Structure 1
Amino acid sequence: MKYIRKDFVLALILAFLSVNATCQEKASSVTDSDSKVEKQDKKKKKKYKLPDIDLSHWSVTTPELNAKGGAMNIEPPAILNYATDDRLIPYMYNDSTAGALVFYAFPSKATTANTKYSRSELREQMVPGDNNTNWTFAQGGYMKGKLAIEDISKDSNGKYHKVIIMQIHGRLTNEQRDLIGQKDNNAPPILKIYWENGKIRVKTKVLKNLSATGEALLHEDAWDDDKGFNFEQEVGFGKFILEVKVTEGKMVVILNNNEYKVYEDIHMRKWGVFENYFKAGNYFQSRDEGSFAKVKYYELEVKH
């Protein structure tokens, strides 16, 4: 009888230990499962990123027509709602996987003065909502962008279309405009930076008559295009960094912190007569049917 009791107690102990081990195993399995789900959730959350761009001092022009038949332009603070603004969603939107702001452009009827091309492009506004406050070379300026071409069409010869990705545009003050009898404040762009067949090309302006002074400098026909400059590095469809530094009589363009183009001459010194503003985005350079470009900006900053 004693042996039967001992066997019974031993069986109970073994059963308890077995049940306890099973429970611990299940608990451990649940904990591991919860941990895996939590890690997966964290990975998913990390995938969603936003571009490092403050739009409070930029307006944007798109390929969309406005009510007056011109190119649509959205200024601050409305531009800050680009992610929910039906006017902007097709042309300016987040790629939250890449953490970039995408600018999409194609040939449309929505063009601006003195051009046949359409754009989805930012225009610097030192005072939000005001185009009359700009800067001179003497005051200086700095722009830096991290960007990439996401996609771009090809022409009938199989070559990629061109797109302007950064600019410094000249502007007449109201007094200068009235002095030369011009209808608007438009002046030539002193800097155009192109993405062209996977490389970066820079164009600037040169004065036709080096002895010109004063009022003569204000006329657009006083200036001509230079021959252009090509950086050696091929950026293709990868990320790259562009910097533009402007001081009195000098302009420097830097690609990926290892290639430099310096403009420091009489043309830069005499350009000091104009006011200026930065531009960045997608100024598409084609009217071919079905053509398009998508430009991604990951970062964009401006300083004065």
Structure 2
Amino acid sequence: MPDLIAPVAVAVAAVLTVQPVPAPHRASLDPCTLVVAAAPGLALPGPPSCPLPVIPEAEPPRAQGAATKPGDLLDLANWFLTLPVGPEGDPDSIDQPELLDYRSDWFDLTPDGTGVVFRAPAGGVTTKNSKYSRSELREMRGEEKAAWSNTKGVHTLESRQAITKVPSVKPEVSATQIHDGGDDVMQIRLEGSTLVAQYADGAEQVVIDQDYRLGTPYDLRIVAADGRITVFYDGEQRAEIERSGSSWYWKVGAYTQSNPERGDDPDALGEVVVYSLRIEHTDG
């Protein structure tokens, strides 16, 4: 019968006779050298896989507050901005390329630099076709004003946003719109504590949040295609509106739905924070 004990004894003796290896300075440790030095004379299953692979350092996360202007957070290349100041009936607008570096009291970063704040006072300057002021982006396609139809292609807006202030007497503000050449087609609008998708010139609406609390961020996705508008709120479908048309475009920001004639102070603000914004158009 073979002697099974002898190989074990040899292996144990080999381990017991391993000479101590002086510990090198921590900064100069070489794993490949240590493997060989720790077991002289022992049959290793194979040479160590040296040199060891270099593990790249992870890229540090973007520091909070690293943005210095709204254009650092949002892709503003295909938008222009209407402000609540300027000549009566013809408020100031910020076009390209100035918008990319623009900031003001009406369009600025949150204190922590993670969102873009749109502010419009109840007593602000209005466009000639509205009684209410706005700090609001209007969709462009390069140097041309965007104009599309939901009877062809798929037109999508995705945004993370929060409504943070409303006037006290008439606490209403619109945060996102589809507009056409003459009027709004659909609005995401807060009325008191009820967030709605409103359409048909305000005659119809679908409640998407019955108890919205000011300052609560929500994820909004609107898809306009096949002659309808579908609204997703925090990942769930909340509205499907049978509506079709042409010359449509997106609007995003604070469109305050009150004024001093309604009893609100001229300085009462509608305020919306936009954390992310993306639009996409595909041809049908």
Q: What's the TM-score once normalised by structure 1's chain length?
A: 0.64
Q: Which runs of 5+ in 2 are unaligned?
A: 1-59
Q: Show the counterpart of 1:281.
A: 253
Q: Does 1:135 align with 2:151?
A: no
Q: Which secondary structure state, in structure 2, belongs to the residue aligned with residue 79 of structure 1? A: helix
Letter matched to residue 163 of structure 1: V
Q: Show the counterpart of 2:216.
A: 238
User: Residue 63 of structure 2 is aligned with which of 32, 46, 68?
Assistant: 46
Q: Which secondary structure state, in structure 2, belongs to the residue aligned with residue 260 of structure 1? A: strand
Letter matched to residue 191 of structure 1: M
Q: CA deviation at 1:49?
A: 4.4
- Structure 2 Cα separation of the partners of residues 259 and 126 of structure 1: 28
Cα displacement string for residues 80-104 of structure 1 (whole angstroms, at most 9, x for unaligned residues): 1113xxxxx1100012515000011
Q: Which secondary structure state, in structure 1, belongs to the residue aligned with residue 100 of structure 2? A: helix
Residues 291 and 96 (structure 1), Cα distance of their counterparts in 2 relative to 1, 3 Å cut: closer
Q: Does 1:169 align with 2:179?
A: yes
Residue correspondence of structure 1 range 151-300 to structure 2 within 5 A = 151-155=165-169, 161-171=171-181, 187-205=182-200, 225-232=202-209, 234-236=211-213, 237-264=215-242, 268=243, 271-272=244-245, 274-287=246-259, 288-289=264-265, 290-300=267-277
- Structure 2 Cα separation of the partners of residues 69 and 249 of structure 1: 33
Cα displacement string for residues 26-51 of structure 1 (whole angstroms, at most 9, x for unaligned residues): xxxxxxxxxxxxxxxx99x8331446
- Structure 2 Cα separation of the partners of residues 230 and 93 of structure 1: 30
Letter matched to residue 251 of structure 2: K
Q: CA deviation at 1:144?
A: 1.0
Q: CA deviation at 1:197?
A: 2.3
For the aligned residue pairs, the C-alpha RMSD in angstroms reads: 2.3
Letter matched to residue 82 of structure 1: Y
User: Residue 65 of structure 1 is aligned with which of 86, 89, 101?
Assistant: 86
Identity of aligned residues (%): 25
Contact 1:49/1:96 (<8 A) preserved: no
Q: Which moved more, 1:133-142 or 1:243-252?
A: 133-142
Letter matched to residue 97 of structure 1: D
Contact 1:105/1:119 (<8 A) preserved: yes
Q: Does 1:77 align with 2:97?
A: yes
Q: CA deviation at 1:109?
A: 5.1
Contact 2:256/2:269 (<8 A) preserved: yes
Q: CA deviation at 1:279?
A: 0.2
Bigger RCO of structures 1 and 2 (CA < 8 A, at least 6 apart):
1
Q: Show the counterpart of 2:161.
A: 147
Aligned length: 211
Letter matched to residue 234 of structure 1: D
Cα displacement string for residues 214-253 of structure 1 (whole angstroms, at most 9, x for unaligned residues): xxxxxxxxxx543212124533121111111011211101
Q: Show the counterpart of 2:131.
A: 116
- Structure 1 Cα separation of the partners of residues 124 and 237 of structure 2: 37
Q: Show the counterpart of 2:278.
A: 301
Q: Which runs of 5+ in 1 are unaligned?
A: 1-41, 84-88, 172-186, 206-223
Contact 1:161/1:196 (<8 A) preserved: yes
Letter matched to residue 254 of structure 1: F
Q: What's the TM-score once normalised by structure 2's chain length?
A: 0.68
Residues 69 and 252 (structure 1), Cα distance of their counterparts in 2 relative to 1, 3 Å cut: closer
Cα displacement string for residues 138-182 of structure 1 (whole angstroms, at most 9, x for unaligned residues): 133100110112333311xxxx610000000012xxxxxxxxxxx
Cα displacement string for residues 173-204 of structure 1 (whole angstroms, at most 9, x for unaligned residues): xxxxxxxxxxxxxx221111102223311111
- Structure 1 Cα separation of the partners of residues 270 and 238 of structure 2: 26
Contact 2:157/2:221 (<8 A) preserved: yes
Letter matched to residue 206 of structure 2: F
